[in-house]
Amino acid sequence: MINKLYTSRSEGDISWSDYPRPSLVRDRWMSLNGEWSFMAKSSRDKVYYSGKIRVPYCPESELSGVGEVFRQGRFIYKRSFMIPREWEGMRLLLHFGAVDAIARVYVNGTFTGEHRGGYTAFTYDITDVAEEFNDLEVRVIDELDRNYPYGKQRYERGGMWYTPVSGIWQSVWLEAVPKEYVRSIKQKTLEKGVKLYFEGGGDGSIKLESGEEYPVRDGHATVEPGELRMWSPKDPFLYRYSARIGEDEFSSYFAIRSIEIRQCGEYKRTYLNGGPVYFHALLDQGYYPEGIYTPPSSASFEDDIKTAKALGFNTLRKHVKVEPDVFYYLCDVYGMLVFQDMVNNGSYSYVFDTLAPTVGMKKRLKRLEKRDVKAGRIFLHEMDATATQLMFHPCIVMWTIFNEGWGQVRADDMYDHLRKLDSERLIDTTSGWFRENKSDIESYHVYFHRPWIKRTDKVCMISEFGGYAIKTEGHVFNDKSYGYKMYSDPESFSKGFFELYERDILPLIEKGVCCDVYTQLCDVEDEINGLVTYDRRVVKLPEDRAKELGRRLDERYLKVCEES
């Protein structure tokens, strides 16, 4: 068992003062994180709390300074800020990383806009209402309305359901831009480079760190570097550049990589940059004891990614949560592949969505979908916003639309919509069960029996399994324990983990399996089935042996593909 103290817990900057958008970096910006005034009220205007809060931590968290759960809450956030004089004549953008669930924003008493959905970023141009000194107010409603994405939040937390998260939980910041400015960057991989699309941009140029320059015409640039290096987990090379497009100046980066499915003998297999790639993955839920959804600092993300790599994993399945942009940037930097889940909304039934499919029911009752017509419309909108927001990042190689039937509605239509939006990544439409017709993946969740894989014309993935649990005294959330198989000591836990792979995963590579997603990276509250404790202080497996397992999986997959 490895003991490790993490820098995120001792050296991290809990004010989250680092630049929040590494994909599009400008010089003129200001963090609005830190201390705000805060009031929590009921739907009948009863005041539950009035005082201060530390943004960007949710009021339920320790790091917020509040640390209380407010049911059916109405929240009022207030703070003042001053505009730097050197920003005069520029347009002013007010950015929010994420606010759960409905946010209404006022600047100097003027309504600026309303955003619904607690997991995606939004921006308002406040130029016309801003003054030298400004008052900012954010009114939030969060009733855990199941029509909106909620992930694993529950008021009655316990087991696989966790403490709810309300209000502002990602960075708030200001930015000064010219009248015409680039709003976002997209890219398309070409045979010898990339094509970049600068939304809102006109003419200009970009300059790589190597000194190569490329013109930008009508917001488009084709970049074919003299030295072509493909991005991968083993060589996560990023082409960094500076840009001047019209009056806008910024820095950014891109990577060149491809992901595809090929017929390989009897089975379809996954390929990265033209070579076989086996996804040795961990389920990553992104919860932290001090901040719940928001870690103490971005160093916490970095630690989690490095730990997963040190244990031999090359992929994280980001489970029903959308992280701040810096998480995906760090995955880009360190070469960690990401399967990104869409965040579930709609209804959930333990009997019909968990128990019945676990014992064999694989078709979802259509009458369950009829309950979620409104939720389905909202899900489509949020799926669109999530994919649009994250498509920049080369680390993301697959989208997961529905997990285990949670809120599942019109799955084939959702696949078609997402495929039109993103033609390059893989799509797992129904992870676990309740398969429809359209998906790139045949996706299995296996916890209580040995995996049985049927012949399929799709790529086959074990997209959840394992969940072995051990209580690490002194590093648990409370006295309750939740997991799929309990162990009493580190030696038996480690033995069980490696035997699981030897018995159930390695032999399936010859039978078409291209991926395993072990549950999970870290313990979460009652769940003690992580490979790392919830406080991130103890790693439960021997690093050298875990890394060797990852190497063996990779070599076996490569050999099978070469021999097919």
Nearest one of 48, 21, 24, 50 to 37, comparing CA atoms: 50
Q: Residue 171 has which token pair?
A: 């960075």
Q: Which residues pair with 249 in a beta bridge?
A: 244
What pLDDT sits at residue 533?
Answer: 97
What pLDDT sits at residue 11?
Answer: 47
What pLDDT sits at residue 355?
Answer: 83
Q: Residue 539 has which token pair?
A: 């790693």
Three-state SS at 58: coil
Total-model pTM: 0.95
- 247-265 as b/e: b if 16+ CB within 10 A: ebbbbbbbbbbbbeeeebe
| Residue 303 neighbours by CB under 8 Å, 6+ apart | 6, 7, 8, 536
| Residue 140 neighbours by CB under 8 Å, 6+ apart | 73, 74, 75, 76, 77, 99, 100, 101, 102, 103, 104, 166, 167, 168
pLDDT tens for the 564 residues of the chain, in order: 333 333 333 345 678 988 999 999 999 999 999 999 999 998 777 889 999 999 999 999 999 999 999 987 899 999 999 999 999 999 999 999 999 999 999 999 999 999 999 999 999 999 999 999 999 999 999 999 999 999 999 999 999 999 999 999 999 999 999 999 999 999 999 989 999 999 997 899 999 999 999 999 999 999 999 989 999 999 999 999 999 999 999 999 999 999 999 999 999 999 999 999 999 999 999 999 999 999 999 999 999 999 999 999 999 999 999 999 999 999 999 999 999 999 999 988 888 888 888 777 777 766 666 677 899 999 999 999 999 999 999 999 999 999 999 999 999 999 999 999 999 999 999 999 999 999 999 999 999 888 888 888 999 999 999 999 999 999 999 888 899 999 999 999 999 999 999 999 999 999 999 999 999 999 999 999 999 999 999 999 999 999 999 999 999 999 999 987
